[in-house]
Copies of this chain bind each other. A is one copy, B any other.
C-alpha cells in the first residue's frame, strides 16, 4: 500500500494489515515517506485509532526499524521499568539498584526531561563525573558486573521512533494511545529485556490527566508488549502532588539515596517496593507478590541497594562517595523558605505548577537543548493532609539568583493550598497484571 492509500483507509476507519504498517514504519525509518504524508497519517490515526493487532504491528516495526539488542550474554531473565513521567519522580534511581540487589539484572535505558517532568539521566548527571551516554558493550558489561546500569537511548535503537516522535511533537499528534504505545514499547522491545513494568502516572501533574485515559494507556502498553512475546504489567499511580519531597536534580539524588538506605519519603519507598516487587515477580524470581515486595524492602533496609547504587555510579564514572556524603553534590548559591500565609490543612499541592517552577529555576528544560543547573530546585516540607501553622515553612527554594528565588517563592505560594486538609489518597490507583 502507498502512504496515500494508508491515509485513505485509516481515514474511513479501516483496520490496516500488519504487513502494510510494518512496511510503512520501515519506510519512515529510511526517510522514504514525505513528512507531510506521515503527519496526515498520524492525524488520521489520532482520530480513528488502531486496534490491538495494528498497535502490536506498529510497535514491533518501530522496535526492529534499527538494531535489536541481544541481552543473552547477561544469562538470566532481565526486566526494565518505564514511567510515563511525573514531577519529583526519582524512582528509577532507587528501583534499579534494589531489583539488581535481589539478583535480577536491570539494563535500563532512560531519557531526559522536557517540560514539567524531569528525566532520570538528568538527575544522575548531578553526580560529579557520572556518564549517562555509554556504548552498548560498556552498558552490558556494567549490568553484568554490577547488576544494573542506567544509560541514554542510543541512536541505532528504534530510529523510526525518533523521526515519528519529532514529527508528532510539532503536528498535534502526541496524545494518541496507539502512537504513545508504539513509541514507548517500540524502544523497550529494541532494548531487549524479557519483561517490563509500566508506571502509568495519572493526575494533574501527569501526561494522562484522567483515570480513564491512564487505564486505556496501561492496558494498551501491556497488550502491545505481550503481543510481542514479552512479559508486562502496569501500575496506575497517583501524580497530583509530586512524588516525595524533592524536585530538582541534585535534591532528588539526595532523596533517592535516603530511600536507598531505607529512609526517605514514604510514598517514594512505597512506589519502589510496589514496582520492584512486580519486577521480581515478572522476572520469575518470586512468584508471590507480597514476598517479592518484602524482599525489595529488605535490600533497602540492609543497605545492599545503596551498595549496588554506589557500584553502578562508580562503573559509570561518577563519584560513589556521594552515597555516604551528599555534600559532594552541587548546591545552589541561594536558598529561602516559603512560609504558610495562614494556618490550616494542606489541601492541595499542584505537581504541574511545581514542575513548571522547577523548570523556571533551571532544573528542567523548557525546550530541547536547554542547559540544566543541577543544583537548583524545590524541597517540599509538607504533604497533602499535613497541618500547618501560620508562618510555618512549606518549602525551601534552591536557586541560582535572588530574582529566580523570588519568582519560585511566588509560584510555590500559589501551588500549595492551605485550607481544609486533604484526605490521604492511595498512591497505587490500579494494577494491570497477568
Contact = CB atoms under 8 A, between A and B. Distances in A.
Contacts of A46: 11
Interface in A1-52: 4, 7-8, 11, 34-40, 42-44, 46-47
Contacts of A173: 40
Interface stretch (A164-172, A177-185, A331-339): A164-172
A213 to B, nearest CB: 14
Contacts of A11: 43, 46, 172
Contacts of A44: 43, 172
Oligomeric state, in copies: 2
Contacts of A7: 43, 171-172
A294 to B, nearest CB: 46
Contacts of A34: 35, 170
A43 B38 CA distance: 11
A171 B173 CA distance: 15
Nearest to A10: B172
A167 B40 CA distance: 10
Q: Which of A7, A36, A42 has the most CB of B within 10 A?
A: A36
Interface in A156-196: 167, 170-173
Interface in A98-137: none
Overall SS of chain A's interface: helix
Interface residues of A, number: 21
Given A43-B43, A46-B11, A47-B47, A36 B172 contact: no
A170 B47 contact: no
B172 A8 contact: yes
A276 to B, nearest CB: 38
A7 to B, nearest CB: 4
A37 B169 CA distance: 10
Contact of A4 (B8, B38, B42, B172): B172
Nearest to A40: B171
A89 B290 CA distance: 78
Contact of A36 (B8, B47, B167): B167
B40 A172 contact: yes
Contact of A37 (B4, B8, B47, B171): B171
B43 A170 contact: no
A37 B37 contact: no
Contact of A39 (B8, B36, B47): B36
A11 to B, nearest CB: 6
A42 B36 CA distance: 11
Contact of A38 (B36, B38, B167): B36
Contacts of A42: 40
A172 B5 CA distance: 8
Contacts of A40: 39-40, 42-43, 171-173
A56 B82 CA distance: 47
A225 B394 CA distance: 61
Contacts of A39: 36-37, 39-40, 43
A370 to B, nearest CB: 19
Nearest to A44: B43
25 contacts: A4-B170, A4-B171, A4-B172, A7-B43, A7-B171, A7-B172, A8-B172, A11-B43, A34-B170, A36-B36, A36-B39, A36-B170, A36-B171, A37-B39, A37-B170, A39-B39, A39-B40, A39-B43, A40-B40, A40-B42, A40-B43, A40-B172, A43-B43, A44-B172, A47-B47
Closest 4 CB pairs of A and B: A7-B172, A40-B171, A43-B43, A35-B36
